[in-house]
Amino acid sequence: MKEAICVRPATADDAEQLLEIYTPFVISEDSSLSNVSFELEAPDVEEFRQRIHDISAQFPYLVGEVQGQILGYVYCHPYRERLAYQWAVEVTIYLAPAGQGKGLGRVLYEAMENILRLQGIAMLYSCITVGNDHSIKMHEALGYRLIGTFTNSGYKNGQWLDTVWLEKQLQDCPSEPAPIKGWRELAPQAVDSVLAEASTRLQSLNL
């Protein structure tokens, strides 16, 4: 039985709720909101289910749920596909309006980071549209540092958009790193412990 307030892995059954959170960041009358994602059309539910399945095969895809309502989610994917990049991932977070500004983002990100440490991930990267100052500040508060601006990265809503990249070193980069592990290969007790701690922290928030 699921806890009423918890951080847990996303499932295919969450696709509709996650898509509801995500869609305004793709399509909105407020371009400052819809410029967050560089997709031009929101995916349908079936495509979103497939995305959850594909990402979850290797990396954590976590949701923050309160009384059956998902208020935010985080996931990551390989920074680049070539094998020498395997110790680096690009992270992503989306929060519903009810989950913003209350500490949910930190709880979700830090839970994901704790699992990524167990997998052997060393470097985290985040790509953010210039103008999304709230997200930039949140990442900086979590230990990310700005490393560069890509000008005219994409064209959306009648304008060219710049993006900034931020990075965070999650743990030491060993001289001879072992191949990373898929998160499903980790000891279940270790993952459960991370999620239980995050759920306890979530329960202390004013959500």
Q: What's the CATH code of the domain at 18?
A: 3.40.630.30
pLDDT tens per residue, range 146-176:
999 999 999 999 999 999 999 999 999 999 9
- Measured in degrees and rounded to the nearest 5, phi and psi for residue 54 equal -65, -45
Gyration radius of the chain's alpha carbons: 17
Instruction: Specify the residue for token string 């996303």.
Output: 10
- Give the pLDDT score at 4: 84
User: Checking DSSP bridges between strand 145-156 and strand 159-169, what pairing results, if any?
Assistant: antiparallel
- Give the pLDDT score at 2: 55
Report the number of distinct structural domains present in the chain.
1
- Give the pLDDT score at 3: 67
Q: Write the single-letter amino acid at 40.
A: L
Nearest to 99 by CA among 84, 91, 114, 109: 109
Reduce the DSSP state of residue 145 to 3 states and report it: strand
Structural domain harbouring 141: 5-203
Q: Write the single-letter amino acid at 192.
A: D
Where the chain has pLDDT below 70, the residues are 1-3
| 34 CB neighbour count, 10 Å cutoff | 19
Q: List, in sequence order, every residue forming a beta bridge with 146; answer none if it has no partner.
A: 166
- Give the pLDDT score at 27: 97
